[in-house]
Structure 1
């Protein structure tokens, strides 16, 4: 009996099945690779955003305005803060609309999803400030989101004492004279990441 020179139907079906399996495996590998690449790109963009935001915050704090002002018969101090909130006057605006004049700034650390935190910004120009504006109690819609998610964000304040310099968790003008020597932002992206420390050294003379 002569052997057939072509493929039998069974051989053809087996070959097509093997080819289909190979195509599926290649497609799955490509999808995994694309997802990994997209996640890597997102992580890079997030890290870049965080670096930019932290540097802008440092610059804004370095430009601290030492002289307070009176609003609605109440004295607004130059700087006041604790671990999760910081308010101060600055000669450097972060929001594009505040193109001139000093600004009143508030950084607020709020709770986010999955036991994380997010950093919010409130900023208003004190030159154009409406006399009835309640700048000490802004509404949620007046805040801008700077960092949407992090494991921990906090502030520390460097005080000069007789025995030396000491970081403390709050700065209260009623108990602490003047302004701190520096403000430190402690930023921890996630549980496994090392904390990042950004220090803004504050001149003890007015920058205005």
Structure 2
């Protein structure tokens, strides 16, 4: 075999032989690549042996067949994304307005008077209504019996109930007190509501 190759090289020349071998190598490589592409493959959906085709669609573009005997269908036109095209705004994705109507909110809370004099409403010291469920133990008559003032000289005479945390002036109680009692103390509302379960009775029983 080596002698045959040497005779061919002598007849054609060494450079011509190298060019011929290079062309054969390129042809064989191209032929093997084309054969590998033409090999059939099993389709994952139908299990039928299929061959690759050189159409532009991908597998994700493939849909079920529309006509009888048709395995697949492809879109008629190739979709291309337009340049600098903003997606259409979906009204469901829009954010609600975070800025509330301040005037309506302040009027609803009583901070702005009806005639528009907000300064007068801010300087007014009327207590605002407490929001939430009303306490069933508090009635309108009991709230008027113990007025709470803003004087600093009288804050040290406040007495707080151990059951409901209400504050009372010691000189507003009946009978009035000059000094806070030792131990637990319950207001008259808790005494009427809790009876013997009030903190003042529990403290006496434990002692």
TM-score range, shorter chain: under 0.3
| TM-score (norm: length of structure 2) | 0.21
TM-score scaled by structure 1? 0.21
Structure that is richer in strand per residue: 1
Structure with greater Cα Rg: 2
